[in-house]
């Protein structure tokens, strides 16, 4: 196995695992659509990076994080639904990007460049994934309660604003990492599909989380290897693998449990 393939696999496994885990919190109506717009916000960052010739991740992270904070601030001030705000941010992001993005060079932003990932980037991906894993684990039960009903969480003494912010920031970091693996266009799928597949075959919270992470990791490994053999882009292949797993989970949803 080549050095490059090992780095690709490690990055892919960490990114898709954490995305699958985070995705289990996002199945509620309110949240499942937020990741998409945030991922598209990566485009203006990519545009800047391409124009000025610096590493794409330096462009992606600030935009996605600022986008998350903007959504949070706007939700607090305007009380508009989060998905509505995310759509506004998304449109602004893509609109701005299309003004400046050198379209010919934009493939990396669209489908990711995980097969050319460096050792340094891999290390950063592993560290950030572990950090987000730790934060989301701390947030998990309370976030779930907020998803069920905000007032219930409030009466239990949960600081909803703070939890929403930390949650959005976690999504932002995972989305920015996802741009590496599958590109900005389909990062949302990295978060949404494993959780949906896991829900098909899970009766309780523990198996739901475990399956989502497992499905995420399997689709990354499968996607990376299949793409290598058939010489197709890796990012989209990861998503296609994930979609296939979803179909399988759909077929088995009654028989298994």
Q: Which residues bind other proteins (CB under 8 A)?
A: 24, 27-29, 141-142, 144-145, 147-149, 151-152, 154-158, 199, 202-208
Minimum separation from the CB atom of position 156 to other proteins (A) = 5
Distance CA 182, CA 252 (A): 27
Q: How far is the CB of 167 from other proteins (least distance, A)?
A: 15
Contact in structure between 89 and 67 (CB atoms under 8 Å): yes
Phi/psi of residue 72, nearest 5 degrees: -65, -50
CB of 249 to other proteins, least distance (A): 12
The beta strands (E) that lie in the chain are given as none
Q: What does the block give as tokens for 16?
A: 């898709």
Please identify, using beta-carbon distances, which residue of 11 and 24 lies nearer to other proteins.
24
Query: Judged by CB, which is closer to other proteins: 28, or 161?
Result: 28
**Nearer residue to other proteins within complex by CB, 168 or 212:** 212
Q: Running DSSP on this structure, what letter comes out for residue 27? A: -
Please, which residue, 25 or 179, has the CB nearer to other proteins?
A: 25
| Rounded least distance, CB 211 to other proteins, Å | 10
Q: How far is the CB of 155 from other proteins (least distance, A)?
A: 5
Q: Give the whole-angstrom CA distance, residue 238 versus residue 24.
A: 18
Distance CA 70, CA 48 (A): 20
- Report the residue number, 3 or 203, with the smaller CB distance to other proteins: 203
Q: Are 173 and 132 in contact (CB under 8 A)?
A: yes
Cβ–Cβ under 8 Å, residues 22 and 86 = no
């Amino acid at each position: 196995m080549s050095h490059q393939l090992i780095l690709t696999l490690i990055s892919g496994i960490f990114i898709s695992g954490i995305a699958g885990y985070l995705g289990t919190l996002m199945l509620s109506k309110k949240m499942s659509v937020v990741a998409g717009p945030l991922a598209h916000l990566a485009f203006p960052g990519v545009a800047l990076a391409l124009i000025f010739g610096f590493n794409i991740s330096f462009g992606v992270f600030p935009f996605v994080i600022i986008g998350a904070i903007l959504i949070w601030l706007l939700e607090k001030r305007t009380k508009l639904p989060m998905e509505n705000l995310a759509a506004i941010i998304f449109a602004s992001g893509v609109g701005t990007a299309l003004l400046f993005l050198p379209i010919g060079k934009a493939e990396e932003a669209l489908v990711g460049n995980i097969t050319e990932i460096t050792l340094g980037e891999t290390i950063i991906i592993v560290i950030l994934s572990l950090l987000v894993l730790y934060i989301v684990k701390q947030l998990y039960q309370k976030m779930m309660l907020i998803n069920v009903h905000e007032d219930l969480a409030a009466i239990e003494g949960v600081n909803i604003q703070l939890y929403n912010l930390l949650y959005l920031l976690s999504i932002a970091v995972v989305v920015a990492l996802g741009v590496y693996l599958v590109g900005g266009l389909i990062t949302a799928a990295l978060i949404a599909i494993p959780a949906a597949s896991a829900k098909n075959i899970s009766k309780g919270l523990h198996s739901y989380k475990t399956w989502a992470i497992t499905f995420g990791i399997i689709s990354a490994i499968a996607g990376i290897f299949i793409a290598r053999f058939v010489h197709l882009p890796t990012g989209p292949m990861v998503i296609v693998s994930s979609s296939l797993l979803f179909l399988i989970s759909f077929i088995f949803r009654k028989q298994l449990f």
